[in-house]
């Protein structure tokens, strides 16, 4: 009897996070070929099930500032997921686990191997690199060494590793016994309809008809440098043809609003977090969008928000190293600019370039919408079906 596909993730519908949205879509897509069971850490996930079963594991999510409590909650959830995996996974199954929380894959992979099933890991963020980048642990600390040791046991034992950025591969291959053929790059996709949106002063949020509007939006977490954007705006405050429209949430947004309160800038407008129902109109209101990464982002984090920006036909300025996934995409498609991370002057220069040649910026906008056609949900789901299907066929 053929086995089933088991997806293990803390986040699943109806959770509103991007991770939950993508994982739910993957679960729906995989039902085409096999029975699917989801082990979810999100309450009321069963209501979102369409053609598959859901096992809910109660989770506890303390506030972000409570580091110790969050660590305890993560370990407790991981232990409960281990028990659930042992209970529901059989010999011929394929288990797809997501790196949220980052401790989850280790017990899930252990339970999978104990059940003699096949294990696939979907990497959204790579650890300990993400923790190091956030300044939470030091590169040579005991915590970093323990995680790397655990990775050295985990990665070679997996039947497949799926990454959403090409820049992750080199970091994975640095571990001994990890083979290139087991690593599969499957990018995320836009969550908005793909088509170029005309820029018009008559549209919502567009209050600056004659200026280049530079936008910032989304979760500004530990991988982002909101201060870089604010400092670039300060450097450009006397340039009458450029205006900043900034929105978001997270720790970086708190920092940015604090900077604005201390030093208000005439070329900056702060916008409250935009509801999902208005996101499309908001993204179409700017001429160009900024994704401000901190240093050492290569292989650590991939900006899923970039796909929605391309979908509405807007070029992007990313502050990141040249080898990062976002930088590679922008250069290959000629749909944006890459500035040095945490370098406000370089970011300001990129914005000046966008303002100085509005025709080229418009051309990049239209190319962005075309490029978005390469990153569709159908293409991504087909790749997931192929990777998981190949593993299932190998055990029959």
Mean pLDDT throughout 28-43?
95
pLDDT digits (tens, 9 = 90+) for 204-253: 888 887 899 999 999 898 889 999 999 999 999 999 999 999 999 988 99
* DSSP letters for 87-148: HH--TT-EEEEE-SSTTTHHHHHHHHHHTT-EEEEEESS-TTHHHHHTTSS-TTSHHHHHHH
- pLDDT at residue number 135: 80
With a pLDDT cut of 90, the percent of the chain lying above it is 80
pLDDT at 147 over 80: yes
Confidence of residue 69 (pLDDT cuts 50, 70, 90): confident
pLDDT at 203 over 90: no
- pLDDT at residue number 72: 87
- pLDDT at residue number 133: 82
Higher-confidence residue of 26 and 130: namely 26
Q: How far apart are CA 270 and CA 40, in angstroms?
A: 36
Contact 229, 347 (CB under 8 A): yes
Mean pLDDT throughout 331-347?
97
Mean pLDDT throughout 315-335?
95
pLDDT at 345 over 70: yes
pLDDT at 396 over 70: no
pLDDT digits (tens, 9 = 90+) for 369-393: 999 999 999 999 999 999 999 999 8
- pLDDT at residue number 287: 96
pLDDT at 1 over 60: no
pLDDT at 62 over 90: no
Domains and CATH numbers, the chain: 5-189+376-395 (3.40.50.2000), 212-372 (3.40.50.2000)
The whole-chain average pLDDT of the chain stands at 93
Structure tokens given for 390: 């190949």
- 50 phi, psi to nearest 5 deg: -135, 95
- Cα 202 off chain centre by: 32
Confidence of residue 257 (pLDDT cuts 50, 70, 90): very high
- Can you list the alpha helix ranges (DSSP code H) found in 236-304? 251-262, 276-283
Residue 91: C-alpha distances to residues 111, 175, 232, 280 (Å): 11, 28, 56, 45
- pLDDT at residue number 77: 93
- pLDDT at residue number 269: 95
- pLDDT at residue number 202: 66
Contact 324, 297 (CB under 8 A): yes
pLDDT at 291 over 70: yes
- Cα 35 off chain centre by: 27
Say whether 180 sits in a helix, a strand or coil. helix
């Amino acid at each position: 009897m053929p086995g089933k596909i088991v997806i293990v993730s803390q986040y699943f519908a109806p959770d509103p996070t991007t991770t939950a949205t993508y994982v739910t879509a993957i679960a729906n897509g995989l039902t085409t070929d096999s029975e699917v069971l989801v082990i979810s850490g999100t309450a009321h996930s069963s209501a979102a099930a369409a053609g598959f079963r859901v096992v809910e594991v109660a989770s506890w999510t303390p506030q972000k500032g409570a580091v110790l409590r969050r660590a305890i909650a993560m370990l407790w959830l991981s232990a409960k997921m281990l028990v659930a995996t042992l209970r529901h996974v059989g010999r011929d199954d394929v288990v797809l686990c997501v790196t949220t929380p980052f401790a989850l894959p280790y017990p899930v992979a252990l339970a999978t191997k104990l059940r003699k099933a096949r294990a696939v890991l979907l990497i959204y963020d790579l650890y300990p690199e993400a923790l190091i980048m956030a300044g939470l642990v030091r590169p040579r600390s005991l915590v970093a060494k323990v995680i790397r040791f655990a990775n050295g046991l985990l990665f070679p034992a997996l039947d497949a590793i799926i990454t959403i950025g090409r820049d992750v591969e080199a970091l994975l291959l640095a571990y001994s016994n990890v083979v290139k053929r087991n690593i599969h790059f499957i990018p995320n996709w836009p969550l908005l309809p793909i088509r170029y949106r005309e820029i018009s002063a008559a549209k919502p949020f567009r209050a600056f008809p004659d200026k280049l509007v530079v936008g910032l939006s989304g979760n500004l977490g530990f991988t982002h440098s909101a201060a870089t954007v604010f400092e670039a705006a300060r450097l450009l405050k006397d340039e009458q043809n450029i205006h900043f429209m900034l929105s978001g949430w997270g720790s970086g947004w708190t920092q940015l609003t604090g900077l604005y309160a201390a030093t208000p800038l005439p070329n900056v407008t702060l916008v409250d977090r935009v509801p999902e129902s208005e996101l499309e109109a908001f993204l179409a209101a700017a001429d160009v969008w900024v994704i401000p990464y901190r240093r050492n982002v290569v292989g650590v984090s991939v900006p899923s928000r970039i796909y929605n920006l391309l979908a509405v036909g807007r070029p992007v300025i990313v502050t990141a190293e040249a080898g990062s996934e976002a930088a590679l995409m922008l250069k290959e498609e000629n749909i944006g600019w890459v500035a040095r991370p945490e370098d406000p002057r370089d970011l300001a220069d990129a914005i000046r370039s966008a303002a100085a040649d509005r025709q080229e910026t418009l051309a990049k906008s239209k190319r962005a919408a075309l490029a978005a056609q390469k990153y569709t949900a159908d293409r991504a789901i087909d790749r997931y079906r192929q990777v998981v299907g190949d593993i299932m066929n190998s055990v029959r």
